[in-house]
Amino acid sequence: MNGLQLIATGGALPGRTVTNEELSRTVDTSDEWITTRTGIRARHWCTEEESAATLAIAAAKQALERSGLSPQDIACCVCATLSAPDATPSVACQVQRALSLPENRPALDVNAACSGFIYGTAVARGLMATLGGRYALVVGCEALSRLMDQTDRSTCVLFGDGAGAAIFELCDAPFAITLGARGDEAIHAGGPCCTGSATISMDGRAVFRFAVDALPRCLHAVLDETQLALDDVDWVVCHQANSRIIDHCVKALHADAAKFYKNMDRHGNTSAASIPVALNEMAEAGLLKAGQKVSCIGFGGGLTWGGMLVTYSPLSHG
């Protein structure tokens, strides 16, 4: 069994919702300026009591409950984040403790920024291939509001907080994954994140050029590996950075825009959380149906990219 299928999702959003209109009171911007350039209308920021870890735990608990599995069934826990509240214990270890996952199973964080969820899934697959097991818990979680300069309108309007979790089953279903990196500081978070002294900076033009190259490249890579065409894929779930990036690629691919799920209008850019948050939203809304094939595409800070093609098979363990 070399592939993975998605059997359950979970999600968590922090308690504070910040609209474009609210931001326009503190920085030189407007709802029109933000919406026309990014597609973002609102985002969620953590309250004082919330963090990437608390959101990850909530999302993971929901995914585990929905899967029908017990904690003993989980072979590994991988959390993708660039905004962990502590250097150690990792967010994954905090999830392991909160969910009472077995102590003889690996739990670790990965940081591949906006591609983190794809990287985390690849790591989980590798851990099961090496150590055994059938089910993996992968979480993408961020508290980017803790890393932002709230006076920098080029970044504070873009980013939000949240967490999404997924449980994957090792199986023989169609599956493909591709990863890559090009070391660059077009998106940069400097300083130690766990102390809250990091600040995010971004070269928007460079990121756009990178994204519109990486997105179709990843999509073609996973389609080629599975010998599928885009018409065979039910959904494409991209990192939710900017609606213009996705729209540009849809046009270049001559694709059906309805296949490309977008939710950045409600959440902004949540980095490693954006893809699993979207998957959870789709599952909860009944958009994601059993047997559907989903391509997930990540791109962003680092610069990193990753693509995955996976089948949604809820409660397939029975």
Is 242 an annotated catalytic residue?
Answer: no
Task: Using alpha carbons only, give the angle 161, 163, 169 rounded to the nearest 5 degrees.
Answer: 160
Q: Per the residue annotation, which of 20, 111, 242, 269 is the catalytic one?
A: 269
Q: Look at residue 205 and give its three-state secondary structure.
A: helix
Is 79 an annotated catalytic residue?
Answer: no
Which string of DSSP letters, residue by residue, matches 32-79? Answer: HHHHHHH---EEEE--TT--HHHHHHHHHHHHHHHHT--GGGEEEEEE
Q: How many Å separate Cα 145 from the centre of its chain?
A: 16
Is 171 an annotated catalytic residue?
Answer: no
> What is the C-alpha to C-alpha distance for residues 62 and 163, in angstroms, rounded to an integer?
11
Nearest CA among 98, 241, 65, 237 for reference residue 79: 98
Q: Per the residue annotation, which of 171, 239, 249, 267 is the catalytic one?
A: 239
**First and final CA of the chain: distance in angstroms?**
17
Q: Per the residue annotation, which of 46, 93, 114, 296 is the catalytic one?
A: 114
- Catalytic (active-site) positions: 114, 239, 269
